[in-house]
Amino acid sequence: MTELAHDPAIEAVIFDMDGVLVDSEGALADIAALSLRDDGVPASPQDFEPFIGMGEDAYIGGVVRLHGMEYRPFMKAHIYARYIELAPDRVREFPGAADLVRDLVRSGFRVAVGSSADRPKVLANLSALGLEESDLHALVTGSDIHRKKPEPDIYLEAARRIRADPARCLVVEDAESGVRAAVAAGMTCLGVATSRPADALVAAGATSVLPDLSALRTLLSLPVRNHADP
């Protein structure tokens, strides 16, 4: 695994959402499988793993087609409704994620979220973090672009909105499709091995894989927080 030193040229940090800031992949797979079974698709949570990070149409549609059925838009609407209902109890912040976002902004970094998920789901996750869209410099979702990850569009759009040179952006990702999107955008990408194995992320192009977000805090020379900090 490659070691990475802090590059002072980095001026912006762009986070994926699911599996990076919020521990939601398991909850989403459970909710999606339950909802699809209501719609007559015999899905299991494990079916969704190959489609992580590719946006909900591919994530849901891939599993529906895996079972030889036709993907229809109402299936996604059903899953979103259940997800938004259950997210407050099922989705958890990765330790220190919200504080990390706030501290990056305070330290002068430009901070964005770039998620292939559609906007309603991303907003539900942001709420689970205790953050608002105004806490970020930009929020780009699958609702904002046509080509999802592994295409670079989401990350290029995030860089455009925060007025950052892609070469000076650091992306934090948990899935191979997202890593490939960041690399294709000309950005440095760090992996976090929350959803996929570290070696798979490195093979996709991640410069390094961090054990957790606290390692990113250390890498970017941010102050160490404890639970008593405001």
CB atoms within 10 A of CB 198: 16
Dihedral sign, Cα of residue 38, residue 44, residue 50, residue 52: positive
Angstrom distance (rounded) from CA 75 to CA 97: 31
| Beta bridge mates, 139 | 113
Task: State the DSSP H helix or E strand holding residue 11, giving kind and residue range, or none if neither.
Answer: none
Tell me the residue type at 201.
Answer: L
The yes-or-no answer on residue 18 being catalytic is yes
Phi–psi pair at 228, nearest 5 degrees? -85, -10
Q: Is 22 helix (H, G, I), strand (E, B) or coil?
A: strand
Element (H, E) at 191: strand 188-192
- Exactly one of 16, 23, 103, 153 is catalytic; which is it? 16
Q: Which one from 7, 18, 103, 165 is the annotated catalytic residue?
A: 18
Amino acid identity, position 199? D
Kindly provide the b/e burial profile for residues 27-36, where b requires at least 16 CB atoms within 10 angstroms of the residue's own CB.
bbbbbbbebb
Sorted by sequence, the CB contacts under 8 Å of residue 75 that are 6+ apart come out as 35, 36, 39, 41, 60, 64
30 is catalytic: no
Residues serving a catalytic function are 16, 18
